[in-house]
Amino acid sequence: MRTTRILLADDHAVVRAGIRKVVEEIPGLEVVAEVSDGPSLLEHLALEQPDFLLVDISMPDFDPIRSINQIRTQNPAMKILVVSAYDDEFYVHGLLGAGVNGYHLKDQPLSDLKLALQQIMAGERWISSPLISKLVGGPKPAPTTPLLTVRQRDILRLLQEGLDNQSIALEMDLSVKTVENHLTRIYRQLQVQSRLEAVNVVNQHPEILGILGQQIRHNENAPKQSSPEYSILVVDDNQRYLRQIQRILARVCPLAVLFEADSVVTAQQISQQIQPRLAFVDVVLGEEDGIRCARRIKAVSEQSRIVMISAYPDREFRRLSMEAGAVAFLDKKDLDARTLRQVIEDLII
């Protein structure tokens, strides 16, 4: 039987010793390293490449939701179990939404921790029983998908990544006051009161970061239609082309929720959250590799159908795209409404 390699992260040596004892009682599990702060955790994740991360999220120099989002993006197959003293509802929802496989409270018996490890290794999720009554009602719902502007959705994505207002302002070349004004309007539209609540709502309702095709068509006086049927991701670093293909897709499939990404990391994060039915990926993403992006999408969203697109329909690009899991390769100049409608009918409908 293959040994499952575990990285243990907690800033209290006594706690680590107790957890290690539990791990060593389970056949096939092995603690390969112990760390006590955020930087050491990231360093040992890269060094050890463990199968399982058991982590306390109150360690020094460790931003829980932002760090877990980063860790999950870089390690999509790794199991993650949070062991924490915090039982705040929004905090728990935020980490579950960030991709952890389980949340265990430190005040519960060690025998429960053993059961949590076994359950997660079996492919299931784990939530300590005292949390279930708090979570059974689910997170605060978004009653309808709010119509956010492109800038508001960009700010929400950065908020989800854990950036503070000043960092968001620098990233988007805005003033801090402008960011604050946008956040005020975003909170009002999401019906929340804080950053954490907003992140939790987005984690539980990732369609908020997309835009419904019929909303794009709203300016064209398109008739109002029912709920969206599927999601489509477009990955391209050319903003003008992103807008162009969005408008075409909105005419072809107004019931789809459309998402956009301009980098490999953003595409992988969105794919992990929404599991898009279809993804259009440009072969060249600035200095990045769109074929590698396709592999990343398939790694976190196996059922997604990927169509590679390129302004340079090279034969070798086509071959590498198919090896990466793409189901089609299209020349950008051929992407008109008729072609996209045919693609969607062939691959989705």
- C-alpha to C-alpha distances, 193 to 38, 98, 187, 200, nearest whole angstrom: 28, 20, 6, 12
204-257 pLDDT, tens digit each: 777 677 765 544 444 444 444 433 457 889 998 887 787 788 788 878 777 778
- DSSP character string of 39-79: HHHHHHHHHH--SEEEE-TT-TT--HHHHHHHHHHH-TT-E
Residues 14 and 110 reside in one and the same domain: yes
Residues 287 and 196 reside in one and the same domain: no
Closest CA to 212 of 230, 200, 199, 198: 230
Residues 226 and 275 reside in one and the same domain: yes
- Would you give the distance in Å from CA 262 to the centre of its chain? 15
Residues 120 and 186 reside in one and the same domain: no
pLDDT value, residue 134: 61
Domain boundary among 135, 170, 198: 135
Closest CA to 338 of 222, 221, 251, 280: 251
279-288: b (≥16 Cβ within 10 Å) or e = bbbbbbbeeb
Residues 321 and 256 reside in one and the same domain: yes
Residues 221 and 312 reside in one and the same domain: yes
| Residue 281: band (very low, low, confident or very high) from pLDDT cuts 50, 70, 90 | very high
Tell me the C-alpha distance between 258 and 40, whole Å: 38
What mean pLDDT is predicted for residues 90-95?
74
3-class DSSP assignment, residue 14? helix
Contact (Cβ atoms closer than 8 angstroms) between residue 20 and residue 8: yes
Residues 193 and 262 reside in one and the same domain: no
Please report which helix (H) or strand (E) contains residue 204, including its range: helix 195-204
pLDDT value, residue 144: 53
Instruction: Enter the pTM of the model.
Output: 0.45
Domain boundary among 99, 117, 135: 135
Residues 202 and 287 reside in one and the same domain: no
280 Rama class: left (phi>0) / alpha (psi -120 to 50) / beta: beta
- Would you give the distance in Å from CA 187 to the centre of its chain? 21
Residues 194 and 258 reside in one and the same domain: no
Average pLDDT, the chain: 82
Domain boundary among 135, 166, 182: 135
pLDDT value, residue 268: 87
Task: Domain count for the chain, please give it.
Answer: 3
Six token digits for residue 34:
């112990």
Report the range out of 16-25, 106-115, 286-295, 338-347 with the highest average pLDDT: 16-25
Residues 131 and 17 reside in one and the same domain: yes
pLDDT value, residue 136: 54
Residues 291 and 307 reside in one and the same domain: yes
Helical H segments across 60-175, by residue range: 64-74, 89-98, 110-121, 129-135, 150-160, 165-172
Read off the amino acid at residue 156: L
| Residue 318: band (very low, low, confident or very high) from pLDDT cuts 50, 70, 90 | confident
pLDDT value, residue 342: 83
**CATH number of the domain where residue 276 is located:** 3.40.50.2300
Tell me the C-alpha distance between 251 and 337, whole Å: 8
* 166: containing domain: 140-207
Residues 252 and 319 reside in one and the same domain: yes
Q: What percent of the chain has pLDDT over 90?
A: 21
What's 221's DSSP letter?
A: T
